[in-house]
Amino acid sequence: MSSGYTNRFGAYLLEQNLSPNTIQSYDYSVKQFYKLFHRLTSSNLRAYKLYLLEHHKPQTVNLRIQAINTYLKYRESAIAPIAPVRVQRKTFLDRIISQADYEYLIRRLYEDEKFTYYYIVRLITATGVRVSELITFQVEDAAAGEKDIYSKGNKVRRVYIPTRLRDSLMEWTARENRRSGTLFLNRFGDPLTASGIRIQLKTFAQRYGLSEDVMYPHSFRHRFAKNFIEKCGDIALLSDLLGHDSIETTRIYLRRSSTEQAAIVNRIVKW
């Protein structure tokens, strides 16, 4: 498989409006397949699926399978797509920061004048944006109080910044004499990256005595969804705000976290 050929596959993925992370993942999967099997055949695809099952968790297996199936579509291949593996659905939410820990975290960040991360955490928790979307926010978006985000399939959703948070963001950027450009910058004045944010959140977890398991960007997206569904209950609206393809994906937020389940059992079960 020539580099020009993979570049054309990459161009095809860009046309589908896939995120850079998804494109990178799909590219890796196709290269992995060809490194192992060299030829695109039905039997090799079945062997690749077995290889994935032996080396990865079901969620990862399905991501690799989705990549290969997309590649088959790109090639306009007559080979049948690979069937995904069934993933047992959890009956609980896991690895989600508690409301108490969230409030403790933003208080400590503010006290320590870590304003960039104070507003990163607040913005994710107030809007539910993904970290890949967060790093695209501009000062102008904060001023407008909303941002249109484009995703795969030429879909667009509008993210609304609550007025109180918008006003606070404007005060912060005004103090820094920033009226335009990328909203979240590192200490060198360059745009923050998703990986940089993930690493720094782990550092704050250690500094403030919080569990590293719940200190990652998507945890705050989960917190937004849990708070929204508890206070509003409109799961269809929540699905739109989160940018989910299906409302079924959003239904997980109707469930309790594993910690909440354990607390209920401990409170009720006395026999």
Half-sphere exposure of 132 (CA within 13 A, CB side): 8
User: Comparing 1 with 59, which gets the higher pLDDT?
Assistant: 59
CA distance 21 to 271: 50
What are the beta bridge partners of residue 159? 147
99 to each of 106, 153, 222, how far by Cα in Å? Answer: 11, 34, 11
Name the token pair of 1.
């498989």
| pTM given for the model | 0.65
Q: What pLDDT does residue 2 have?
A: 47
* Ordered domains of the chain (ranges, CATH): 3-75 (1.10.150.130), 99-266 (1.10.443.10)
Contact 57, 223 (CB under 8 A): no
User: Comparing 123 with 262, which gets the higher pLDDT?
Assistant: 123
pLDDT tier at 261, thresholds 50, 70, 90 = low
Mapped onto helix, strand or coil, the DSSP state of residue 16 is coil
**Residue type at position 43:** S
Provide mean pLDDT across the span 253-258.
Answer: 70
Contact 136, 193 (CB under 8 A): no
Give the least confident one: 39-48, 243-252, 257-266: 257-266
Q: What pLDDT does residue 233 have?
A: 80
Contact 251, 86 (CB under 8 A): no
| Alpha helices, DSSP H, located in 209-271 | 217-231, 235-242, 247-250, 258-268
Give the least confident one: 55-59, 174-178, 233-237, 258-262: 258-262
